[in-house]
Chain A
Amino acid sequence: MPKTVKLTTPLTDEDVSKLNIGDTVLLSGIIYTGRDAAHKRLVDLIEQGKELPIELKGQVMYYVGPAPAPPGKPIGSAGPTTSYRMDSLTTQLLERGLKASIGKGPRGQNVIDSMEKNKAVYLAAVGGAAALIAKSIKKAEIIAYEDLGAEAIRKLEVEDFPCIVANDIYGNDLYKEGVAKYEIRN
Chain B
Amino acid sequence: MREIKANQITEIVKKLCMDANFYLPEDVIDTIKQAKEKEESQTGKDVFDMILQNIEISESEKLPLCQDTGFAVFFIELGQEVHIIGGNFVDAINDGVRQGYKEGYLRKSIVDDPVIDRINTKDNTPAVIYTDIVPGDKVKITFAPKGGGSENMSTVKMLKAADGIEGVKDFVVDFVKNAGGNPCPPTIVGIGLGGTFDKVAQIAKKALLRPIGSRNPNPKYSEVEKELLERINKTGVGPMGLGGRVTALDVHIETYPCHIATMPVAINIQCHCCRHKEAII
Contacts and interface: CB of A to CB of B under 8 A. Distances in A.
B53 A164 contact: no
11 contacts: A67-B67, A76-B63, A106-B181, A127-B271, A128-B272, A131-B58, A131-B61, A131-B65, A175-B181, A179-B238, A184-B236
Interface of B: 40-43, 46-47, 50-51, 53-54, 57-58, 61-69, 105-109, 120, 149, 152, 180-182, 184, 234-238, 240-245, 271-273
Nearest to A149: B120
Given A104-B240, A182-B238, 20 more contacts: A22-B42, A65-B67, A67-B107, A68-B107, A70-B62, A70-B105, A76-B63, A76-B64, A77-B107, A127-B271, A132-B53, A135-B57, A149-B108, A162-B50, A175-B243, A179-B243, A181-B41, A182-B40, A182-B41, A183-B236
Interface of B is mostly: loop
A79 B240 contact: no
Given A65-B67, A105-B182, A131-B57, A76 B241 contact: no
B57 A66 contact: no
A132 B69 CA distance: 15
A2 B42 CA distance: 9
B97 to A, nearest CB: 15
A109 B236 CA distance: 21
A129 B237 contact: no
A175 B64 CA distance: 27
Contacts of A70: 62-63, 105
A164 B43 contact: yes
Nearest to A68: B105
